[in-house]
């Protein structure tokens, strides 16, 4: 049932958490693969993938009245997923969602409409268990997208050889890759923007998150932050324990919110900081990005070599009027491009446009 400007598209989505219902709540069927969901606790308006729903789901994938199928990649291969399910504590209580991991496998068969694949995993490569989804995709959206897209197909740490890179099959597949941001978390709403404190900003640099056991990008500059603090820079570091409201309030109080790389380069923190009216301070990007926050316009990027973070902080704090203008520009950019609704519209419109053009070379 092809959609028109006056009728929203009919979409079938498969994954742990729906991304598309933010923009198309009335016309999106969502099948949840989240292993923690149960009949007593499941997303409103969704179906749980189970032995009872697997065959109806397979039939729905063949329904030409759909406009689009959106499928999230699997976080684990079939065997690993089965083992994890069997050894969860919930299994002792009789919760054994053994069929959840089979939902994506249905895409190995025929699908009559365009397919958008969402890969929001931390890994800068496509897991081997999801390679078939790359071949089935109309557009494959990747969060941690390396500048050389061939690195998506790394195997055992080796990049594809020149012979491999000349194969039409893989060249065609990589042409369907697009970057996608995490954007704002689902629980933040554009109508609840934190306001600047009445007394003005009283934090120079704020960070909340794990420092140890995360990325070496974070661990290597901790001494620099402490040195800045000894020089009189107001540093606020919180290793967890903040509620969402308190976290956003701290962001609103800060001139800069430090957003270093974690398990992946793209994370919620820069978008949350901009949403709260602060300027993100981001370690230099290592990925291709979707509608990026631009250096010196919405944020500041710093190089990861020793001393670069401290130099950047001291330099940019000298012009606080500029920081206020940048924070306004960053917030406007995030609200335009990186809300859950905006990202859902981007996914749908990009894939439908590509599907109308036919197979991509």
Contact 51, 34 (CB under 8 A): no
pLDDT for 360 equals 38
Which residues face 258 on adjacent strands? 281
**Does the pLDDT value for residue 122 go beyond 70?**
yes
Radius of gyration of the chain (CA): 22
**Does the pLDDT value for residue 252 go beyond 60?**
yes
240 or 39: which leads in pLDDT:
240
Contact 136, 115 (CB under 8 A): yes
**Does the pLDDT value for residue 95 go beyond 80?**
no
Structure tokens of 96? 């054994």
Average pLDDT of 219-229? 89
- Name 275's Cβ contacts closer than 8 Å, sequence gap at least 6: 184, 188, 193, 194, 248, 251, 331, 334, 335
DSSP H stretches of helix in 89-243: 131-136, 162-165, 168-174, 216-219, 222-230
What b-and-e string marks burial along 296-327, b requiring 16 or more CB atoms within 10 Å of the CB? eebbbbbeeeeebbbebbeebbeeeeebeebb
Query: Three-state DSSP class for 164?
Result: helix
pLDDT for 247 equals 92
Alpha carbons within 13 angstroms on the beta-carbon side of residue 212 total 2
Query: From the centroid of its chain, how far is CA 163?
Result: 32
**Does the pLDDT value for residue 202 go beyond 70?**
yes
Query: Three-state DSSP class for 163?
Result: helix
By residue count, the chain amounts to 361
98 or 141: which leads in pLDDT:
141
Digit-coded pLDDT (tens) for 132-167: 999 999 999 999 999 999 999 988 888 888 998 998
Mean pLDDT (the chain) is: 88
Query: Three-state DSSP class for 46?
Result: strand
Digit-coded pLDDT (tens) for 27-84: 999 999 886 666 666 777 788 888 888 999 999 999 989 999 999 999 887 767 666 6
The domains located in the chain, with CATH, are 11-183+340-357 (3.40.50), 203-337 (3.40.50.2000)
Helices 308-316 & 222-230, crossing angle to 10 degrees? Answer: 40
189 pLDDT band, cuts 50/70/90, is low
Digit-coded pLDDT (tens) for 271-326: 999 999 999 999 999 999 999 999 999 999 999 999 999 999 999 999 999 999 99
Average pLDDT of 189-200? 73
């Amino acid at each position: 049932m092809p959609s028109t400007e006056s009728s929203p598209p009919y979409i079938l989505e498969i994954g742990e958490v729906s991304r598309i219902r933010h923009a198309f709540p009335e016309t999106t069927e969502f099948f949840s693969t989240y292993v923690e969901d149960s009949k007593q606790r499941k997303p409103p308006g969704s179906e749980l993938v189970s032995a009872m729903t697997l065959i109806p789901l397979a039939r729905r994938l063949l329904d030409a009245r759909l406009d689009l199928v959106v499928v999230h990649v699997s976080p684990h291969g079939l065997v690993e997923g089965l083992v994890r399910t069997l050894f969860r504590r919930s299994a002792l209580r009789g919760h054994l969602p053994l069929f959840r991991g089979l939902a994506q496998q249905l895409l190995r068969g025929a699908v009559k409409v365009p397919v958008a694949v969402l890969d929001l995993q931390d890994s800068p490569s496509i897991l081997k268990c999801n390679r078939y989804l790359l071949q089935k995709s109309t557009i494959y959206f990747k969060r941690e997208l390396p500048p050389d897209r061939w690195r998506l197909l790394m195997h055992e740490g080796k990049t594809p050889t020149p012979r491999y890179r000349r194969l039409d099959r893989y060249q065609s597949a990589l042409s369907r890759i697009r970057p996608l941001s995490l954007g704002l978390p689902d629980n933040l709403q554009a109508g609840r923007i934190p306001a600047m404190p009445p007394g003005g900003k009283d934090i120079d640099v704020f960070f909340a998150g794990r420092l140890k056991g995360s990325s070496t990008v974070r661990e290597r500059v901790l001494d620099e932050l402490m040195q800045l603090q000894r020089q009189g820079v107001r540093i606020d570091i919180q290793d967890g324990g903040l509620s969402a409201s308190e976290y956003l309030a701290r962001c609103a109080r800060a001139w800069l919110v430090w957003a270093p790389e974690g398990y992946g380069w793209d994370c919620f923190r820069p978008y949350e900081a901009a949403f709260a009216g602060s300027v993100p301070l981001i370690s230099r990007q290592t990925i291709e990005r979707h509608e990026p926050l631009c250096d010196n316009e919405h944020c500041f990027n710093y190089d990861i070599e020793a001393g670069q973070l401290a130099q950047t902080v001291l330099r940019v704090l000298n012009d606080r009027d500029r920081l206020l203008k940048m924070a306004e520009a960053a917030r406007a950019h995030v609200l335009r491009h990186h809300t859950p609704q905006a990202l859902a519209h981007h996914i749908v419109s990009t894939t439908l446009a590509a599907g109308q053009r036919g197979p991509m070379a």
